[in-house]
């Protein structure tokens, strides 16, 4: 075992996005690529000497090799201790919980979230701060600046550390504790929800299907849903994490979780269906014959929070990302609490949660969570729904119908145009921004635009300012269209168009969302010139 200093040079393009650095796996496997970025993290957080870190990932291809590199680099740089999930596995919510519970100095999560995995697919690395949440922009900017000047890194030359056996070992002067990835997370869930009532529901003939999509949530769902709560064996499907996610796309939406959709739309469908993503922080909720959009789901959770032990009487406020539908706003108004509108990216919720301003948060991209950790949490959302179902003994469809009759229905859809040439995508957004000053007051397809702006956010806690977060068009009657470029892909650019229209007529609550939003779809194409600029006549994905 020797300490080595390896000469290196800066590598372009290592700028972390909203969820860390994501690239094709083969890029991360290039000489010095991973090592440079980890060394930059050490610099960006002021070094790791004497610090305690959490480490784990979603089990995608290269997860185990990357973990060994990080262990050797942490030991070489003087870290006091690494707490690592067995076999380097930890869901993102479980990692956030561990950081907070163990009062660690932060954590490194190995994941590209909902992106596919495998030798030709995606890999990612992100740093979470001591509060358990994603690093804020000031930290990621320091990390990025460090990538520009890296000329060497330190690493211990040694054989692989045994991370398959629970317990404590050491590497040089650094302690390594291998922990059960599920245990602490399950304990936390038991403090939030009424497991006895959920168990009674599941023992009453109520059936469920949870599709883990061969990703990290499989062991968690099996232990909690089938083990602790008594769901029928086999209720969790695709529950073994695989390096390539079974050659699937671990994104819980009706496109990529098609098998779950087919089961839930069948005549003999289970009562409840759900799915989670690659690293366990996203969710999809379904009932027999019905799909609940993420925007509706977070609104329903907030509206029914009094039914859940940890949230009864504890709702200080709610928050949603700007592109998420305004269904949550209507619930907040009814409850007499604040609804904060933030940019996309869970890190923006962190200050609100830490300051006690928000209790439940949600994003339209299938992320919901609360102040129990500082990440979105897929299985948490599933348990929240099951707690509501156990208390009300209504079906998912009945809960949705009741909610819409009380609050109206915010029809909502997201259209993704993927892998667009980056220059074309940037030109489209630039042209759209150039029109903003003249769009207000225009009538297109019979709908009047009342406001057009480029969303900016002033953090109510620390006063930080974020601009250029997405172009938003508001229309009479509560309709909206939002345009933004996503930072989660690894090829070209993804244009996301978010479409929303409010309907309060009780006789128009059961429309197909694409039909209900037909006017918004046409207006979006007209205003942004999507077809003519990109050559695309249809989105690649509708959710």
pLDDT interval class at 310 (50, 70, 90): very high
For residues 422-447, one letter each, b for 16 or more C-beta atoms within 10 angstroms of the residue's C-beta and e for the rest, the string is eeebeebbeebeeeeeebeebebeeb
pTM of the model: 0.94
Percent over 90 (pLDDT), the chain: 92
How crowded is residue 212: how many other Cβ atoms within 10 Å of its Cβ?
28
- Sign of torsion over alpha carbons 500, 503, 509, 510: negative
pLDDT interval class at 191 (50, 70, 90): very high
Closest CA to 280 of 180, 375, 377, 181: 377
Rounded to whole angstroms, how far apart are CA atoms 236 and 197? 20
Structure tokens belonging to residue 264: 């839930």
pLDDT digits 0-9 by tens, 115-166: 999 999 999 999 999 999 999 889 999 999 999 999 999 999 999 999 999 9
Rounded to whole angstroms, how far apart are CA atoms 473 and 81? 50
Structure tokens belonging to residue 249: 């796309």
Write down the residue that tokens 């000053």 correspond to.
Answer: 437
Rounded to whole angstroms, how far apart are CA atoms 210 and 518? 32
The tally of CA atoms less than 13 A away on the side-chain side of residue 124 is: 27
Q: Is the pLDDT of residue 18 over 80?
A: no
Structure tokens belonging to residue 517: 């939003």
- Which residues are bridge partners to 317 per DSSP? 338
pLDDT interval class at 489 (50, 70, 90): low
pLDDT for 121:
96
pLDDT for 490:
57
HEC string for 96-128: HHHHHHCCCCCEEEECCCCCCCCCCCEEEEEEE
Rounded (10°) CA dihedral 501, 504, 510, 512: -10
Q: Is 141 helix (H, G, I), strand (E, B) or coil?
A: helix
Closest CA to 377 of 192, 197, 195, 246: 192
Q: Is 478 helix (H, G, I), strand (E, B) or coil?
A: coil
Structure tokens belonging to residue 49: 């000497």
Q: Is the pLDDT of residue 5 over 70?
A: yes
Residue 464 designated active-site: no
In 212-312 the beta strands, taken as DSSP E runs, fall at: 236-237, 272-276, 283-287, 290-292
Give, in words, the CATH class of 409-542: alpha beta
pLDDT for 312:
96
pLDDT digits 0-9 by tens, 412-438: 999 999 989 999 999 999 999 999 999
User: Across the chain, which distance is largest between two alpha carbons, in Å?
Assistant: 73
Sorted by where each begins, the domain ranges of the chain are 2-180, 185-407, 409-542
Backbone phi, psi, residue 294, to 5°: -55, -35
DSSP type of residue 309: G
Mean pLDDT of the chain: 95
pLDDT interval class at 492 (50, 70, 90): confident
Q: Do domains 2-180 and 185-407 have the same CATH topology?
A: yes
Instruction: Please pick, among 77, 96, 111, 113, the residue that the annotation labels catalytic.
Output: 113
Task: Give the distance from CA 285 to its chain's centroid.
Answer: 15
Structure tokens belonging to residue 450: 């009342």
Query: Which CATH fold topology does 185-407 show?
Result: Alpha-D-Glucose-1,6-Bisphosphate; Chain A, domain 3 (3.40.120)
Q: Is 418 helix (H, G, I), strand (E, B) or coil?
A: strand
Closest CA to 161 of 151, 153, 172: 172
pLDDT interval class at 316 (50, 70, 90): very high
Helices 396-407 and 378-392: crossing angle in degrees, nearest 10, is 90
Rounded to whole angstroms, how far apart are CA atoms 289 and 272? 10
Q: Is the pLDDT of residue 488 over 70?
A: no
Structure tokens belonging to residue 100: 């907070």
pLDDT digits 0-9 by tens, 398-411: 999 999 999 999 99
Assess if CATH 3.40.120.10 describes domain 2-180. yes
Rounded to whole angstroms, how far apart are CA atoms 476 and 339? 21
pLDDT interval class at 202 (50, 70, 90): very high
């Amino acid at each position: 075992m020797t300490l080595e200093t390896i000469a290196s040079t800066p590598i372009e393009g290592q700028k972390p996005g909203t969820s860390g650095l994501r690239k094709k796996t083969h890029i991360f496997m290039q000489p010095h690529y991973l090592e440079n970025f980890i060394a930059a993290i050490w610099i960006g957080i002021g070094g790791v000497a004497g610090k305690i870190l959490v480490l784990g990932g979603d089990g995608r291809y290269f997860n185990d090799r990357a973990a060994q590199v990080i262990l050797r680099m942490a030991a070489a740089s003087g870290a006091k201790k690494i707490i690592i999930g067995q076999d380097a596995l930890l869901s993102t919510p479980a990692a956030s919980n561990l950081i907070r519970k163990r009062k660690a100095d932060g954590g490194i999560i190995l994941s590209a979230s909902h992106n596919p995995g495998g030798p030709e697919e995606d890999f990612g690395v992100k740093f979470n701060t001591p509060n358990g949440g994603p690093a804020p922009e000031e930290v990621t900017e320091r990390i990025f600046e460090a990538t520009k000047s890296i000329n060497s890194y330190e690493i211990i030359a040694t054989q692989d550390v045994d991370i398959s056996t629970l317990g404590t070992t050491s590497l040089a002067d650094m302690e390594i504790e291998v922990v059960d990835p599920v245990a602490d997370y399950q304990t936390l869930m038991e403090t939030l929800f009424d497991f006895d009532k959920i168990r009674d529901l599941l023992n009453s003939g109520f059936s469920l299907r949870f599709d883990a999509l061969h990703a990290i949530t499989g062991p968690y769902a099996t232990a909690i849903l089938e083990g602790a709560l008594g769901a029928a064996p086999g209720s969790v499907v695709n529950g073994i994490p695989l390096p390539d996610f079974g050659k699937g796309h671990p994104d819980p939406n009706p496109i990529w979780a098609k098998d779950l959709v087919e089961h839930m739309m069948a005549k003999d469908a289970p009562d409840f269906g759900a799915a989670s993503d690659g690293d366990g922080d996203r969710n999809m909720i379904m009932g027999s014959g019905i799909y609940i959009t993420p925007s509706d789901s977070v609104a329903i959770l907030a509206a029914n929070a009094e039914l859940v032990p940890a949230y009864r009487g504890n709702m200080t406020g709610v928050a949603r990302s700007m592109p998420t539908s305004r269904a949550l706003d209507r619930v907040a108004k009814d409850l007499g609490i604040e609804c904060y509108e933030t940019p996309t990216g869970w890190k923006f919720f962190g200050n609100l949660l830490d300051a006690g301003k928000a209790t439940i948060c949600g994003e339209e991209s299938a992320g919901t969570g609360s102040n129990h950790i500082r990440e979105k949490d897929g299985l948490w959302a599933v348990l929240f729904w099951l707690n509501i179902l156990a208390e009300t003994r209504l079906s998912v469809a009945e809960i949705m119908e009741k909610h819409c009759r009380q609050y109206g229905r915010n029809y909502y859809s997201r259209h993704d145009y993927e892998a667009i040439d980056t220059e074309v995508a940037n030109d489209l957004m630039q042209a759209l921004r150039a029109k903003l000053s003249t769009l207000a007051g225009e009538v297109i397809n019979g709908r009047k635009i009342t406001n057009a702006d480029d969303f900016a956010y002033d953090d109510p806690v620390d006063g930080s300012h974020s601009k250029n977060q997405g172009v938003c068009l508001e229309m009479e009657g509560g309709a909206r269209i939002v345009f933004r470029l996503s930072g989660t892909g690894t090829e070209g650019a993804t244009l996301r168009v978010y479409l929303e229209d409010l309907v309060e007529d009780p006789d128009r609550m059961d429309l197909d969302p694409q039909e209900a939003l037909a006017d918004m779809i046409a207006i979006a194409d007209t205003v942004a010139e999507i077809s003519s600029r990109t050559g695309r006549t249809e989105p690649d994905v509708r959710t």
